[in-house]
Amino acid sequence: MRSKMKLMCRPPLFHLLLCCVTQTLGVQIQSDPEVSTEGVIQTEVNRTVSLLCLPDRGSETPADEELVWLRNGAVVSLMEGNRKGRSSVCISPIIHEDNGATFTCHLSRNATVKASVTLNVTYHPQLSGSEEVTVEDESVLALRCDIWANPPVSSVSWTLNGSAVDLLAGGFTVTNDGFTSQLITNSVEKSLHEGTYQCTANFPVFGEHSKIFKVTVTEKTMKFPLLPFIAGVVVVCLTTLLAVVSRWSKIMKCCK
C-alpha cells in the first residue's frame, strides 16, 4: 500500500460530529468530508479524506471487534492498535488515481458485515499557455491538447488565426479520447497551415480552458539518401578491388 496512505489518522471530535455516516447492520463509516446518501465522498486532488470505521450503536457487535479495511478489494495494512473496536484510514494527499476508489470496512470474523464509501475526485485540466511549433514543408503536423479532467470535458474546438479550422481544406483530422485532443495533417503546406492555432475545451465545472500553438513552416531540407550512398560505396569498392586484382594478375604474368 502506498506510503501516502496514513492509517492512524484520528480527526478531531467536532469534525466527526459534522460528518455523515454510511453504515450497515453491525458497522458504520464516518468520514470527513461527508459522504452522500449514495455512499460517495466528493473531494479534490491534494486534499485529505479521513475515514473511521466502528461498530454500529445498538448492534450486537462487540466493542473490541477486529476490523478489516479494503481498498478496491485489496486489504489495507493497518498498524497494531488500529484494528479493534475502531479503525481509521487517512488518504493524503488525494491523487488522480483515487478517483473511483472504494473503501470497505468489514468485521474480521464475518466479511458480510460491512460498510463502503467511494471517492469522487475532481481535478482541473492541464490546459493553458502557448507553445512554439516549427515544422518542415510536406511533413506531418500534430498538435495535442491535454483535456483530462473530472468532470470530463463537454466540448473541444480548434481555431486557426481566429477562425474555425477547415478540416477539409487543410486535410486535417481531429481525434479525442477523453484524455487528449489531437489536430493532425499529414502533409504541411506553408500557405495553408502556418499561423496561430488555439485549442479550446469547455468543462461543466471548470469552465473554458485553452492553449495556443504558434506554428512556423520552414522549407523542406534535403535529407542525405543513406541507403543509395552505401550501395554506391559498395559498388565503387568492389569495382576498385576487381581492377586491382586484374592489374595484379597482368603484372604477375609479365614477371614470369
Residue 11: which CATH number?
2.60.40.10
130 Cβ contact partners less than 8 Å away, ≥ 6 residues apart: 211, 212, 213, 214
Mean pLDDT confidence for 139-161:
96
- Percentage of the chain surpassing pLDDT 70? 77
Which three-class secondary structure state does DSSP give residue 78?
coil
CA proximity to 191, closest of 177, 171, 207, 175: 171
pLDDT for the residue numbered 224: 57
Which three-class secondary structure state does DSSP give residue 190?
helix
In a domain, 231, yes or no: no
- Which of 21-30, 137-146, 152-161, 184-193 is least confident? 21-30
Number of domains in the chain: 2
CA proximity to 124, closest of 91, 148, 100: 148
Cα–Cα distance for residue pair 199/183, rounded to 1 Å: 9
Considering only residues 232 and 180, tell me which one the structure prediction assigns the higher pLDDT. 180
Task: Render pLDDT for 126-137 as a digit per residue (tens, 0 to 9).
Answer: 999 999 999 999
Mean pLDDT confidence for 48-59:
86
Whether residue 136 sits in one domain with residue 107: no
Owning domain of residue 183: 130-218
Task: Render pLDDT for 92-103 as a digit per residue (tens, 0 to 9).
Answer: 999 999 999 999
Mean pLDDT confidence for 37-56:
95
Considering only residues 237 and 221, tell me which one the structure prediction assigns the higher pLDDT. 221
pLDDT for the residue numbered 55: 85
Whether residue 158 sits in one domain with residue 102: no
The strand pairing partners of 144, in sequence order, are 182
pLDDT for the residue numbered 3: 46
Whether residue 161 sits in one domain with residue 145: yes
pLDDT tier, 10 (very low <50, low <70, confident <90, very high otherwise): very low
For 21-50, letters b (16+ CB in 10 Å) and e give ebbbebbbbbbbbebeeeeebebeeeeebb
Whether residue 151 sits in one domain with residue 88: no
Mean pLDDT confidence for 105-122:
95
Give the position of cell 488565426: 161
Considering only residues 238 and 198, tell me which one the structure prediction assigns the higher pLDDT. 198
Whether residue 150 sits in one domain with residue 115: no
pLDDT tier, 220 (very low <50, low <70, confident <90, very high otherwise): confident
Whether residue 117 sits in one domain with residue 43: yes
Whether residue 134 sits in one domain with residue 114: no
CA proximity to 52, closest of 93, 109, 10, 100: 10
Mean pLDDT for all residues in the chain: 85
Whether residue 192 sits in one domain with residue 159: yes
Considering only residues 230 and 192, tell me which one the structure prediction assigns the higher pLDDT. 192
**Of the residues 122, 156, 191, the one at which a domain ends:** 122
